Chains A and B, each alone.
Chain A
Amino acid sequence: MSARIFVPADSSALAVGAEAVARAIAKEARARGLAVEIVRNGSRGMVWLEPLVEVETPQGRIGYGQVSAGDAPALFDAGFLQGGEHPARLGKVEDLDWMARQQRLTFARCGVIDPLSLEDYRAHGGFDGLKRALAMAPAEVVEEVVDSGLRGRGGAGFPTGIKWRTVAGAEADRKYVVCNADEGDSGTFADRMLMEGDPFTLIEGMTIAGLATGATKGFVYIRSEYPHAFRAMQRAIDAARAGGWLGADVAGSGRAFDMEARLGAGAYVCGEETSLLESLEGRRGQVRAKPPLPAVQGLFGKPTVINNVLSLASVPWILAHGAKAYADFGMGRSRGTQPFQIAGNVKRGGLVELAFGVTIRELVEDFGGGTASGRKLRAVQVGGPLGAYFPEALLDTPLDYEAMLAAKGMLGHGGLVAFDDSVDLAKQARFAMQFCAIESCGKCTPCRIGSTRGVEVIDKIVAGVARDKNRELLLDLCDAMTDGSLCALGGLTPMPVLSALTHFSEDFERKAPARQAAEQVRP
Chain B
Amino acid sequence: MGQDTQAPLSFDEGRALEIIGGLAHLEGAMLPILHALQDAFGHIDARMVPLVASALNVSRADAHGAVSFYHDFRDAPAGRHVLRICRAESCQSMGCERLVEHLRHTHRLTPGETTADGALTLENVYCLGQCALSPAALVDGEPVGRLDEKRLDALLGQLKGARA
Contact = CB atoms under 8 A, between A and B. Distances in A.
A12 B71 contact: no
Interface in A260-295: 260, 262-268, 279-286
Given A186-B89, A267-B69, A344-B131, A12 B125 contact: no
A282 B126 contact: no
A48 interface: yes
A263 B130 contact: no
B146 A341 contact: no
A11 B131 contact: no
A3 B88 CA distance: 41
Contact of B132 (A189, A280, A441): A189
Interface in B100-147: 125-134, 136, 138, 141-146
B90 A12 contact: no
B73 A265 contact: yes
B30 A48 contact: no
Contacts of B129: 11-12, 183, 188-189, 191-193, 225-226, 229
B75 interface: no
A343 interface: yes
A363 interface: no
B133 A15 contact: yes
Interface stretch (B9-17, B31-39, B155-163): B31-39
B93 A345 contact: yes
Contacts of A252: none
Interface in B36-67: 56, 58, 62, 65-66
Interface in A419-467: 419-420, 423, 428, 431, 435, 438-439, 441
A291 B52 CA distance: 31
Interface in A376-417: 381, 385, 415, 417
Nearest to B65: A284
Nearest to A345: B93
A300 B132 CA distance: 37
B136 to A, nearest CB: 6
B28 A280 contact: yes
A228 B144 CA distance: 13
Nearest to B89: A186
Given A265-B34, A265-B71, A15 B145 contact: yes
A300 B145 CA distance: 39
Contact of A266 (B32, B71, B90, B131): B71
Contacts of A350: 132
A322 B25 CA distance: 40
Majority DSSP secondary structure for residues of A touching B:
mixed
A12 B143 contact: yes
Given A12-B145, A14-B143, A186-B88, A47 B126 contact: no
Interface in A330-375: 341-346, 349-351, 372
Interface residues of A, number: 67
A12 B134 CA distance: 10
Interface residues on B, range: 35 or more
Contacts of A147: none
Contacts of B58: 282
Contacts of A279: 31
B28 A262 contact: yes
A419 B93 CA distance: 5
B133 to A, nearest CB: 6
B149 interface: no
B31 A15 contact: no
A222 to B, nearest CB: 11
Given A344-B90, A344-B94, A186 B70 contact: no
A418 B29 CA distance: 40
B127 A186 contact: yes
B93 A227 contact: no
B91 interface: yes
Nearest to B128: A225
A186 B89 CA distance: 6
A97 B79 CA distance: 46
A265 B31 contact: yes
A184 interface: yes
Interface of A: 11-12, 14-16, 47-48, 50, 183-189, 191-193, 217, 224-229, 260, 262-268, 279-286, 299-300, 341-346, 349-351, 372, 381, 385, 415, 417-420, 423, 428, 431, 435, 438-439, 441
8 contacts: A187-B127, A189-B130, A224-B35, A267-B69, A285-B69, A385-B126, A417-B131, A438-B126
Given A264-B70, A350-B132, 18 more contacts: A11-B129, A12-B129, A12-B132, A14-B142, A15-B146, A186-B127, A189-B129, A217-B27, A228-B143, A262-B31, A265-B35, A265-B70, A266-B71, A281-B30, A282-B31, A344-B131, A349-B134, A431-B89
CB-based closest 6 A-B pairs = A282-B30, A349-B132, A186-B88, A343-B131, A265-B70, A47-B132
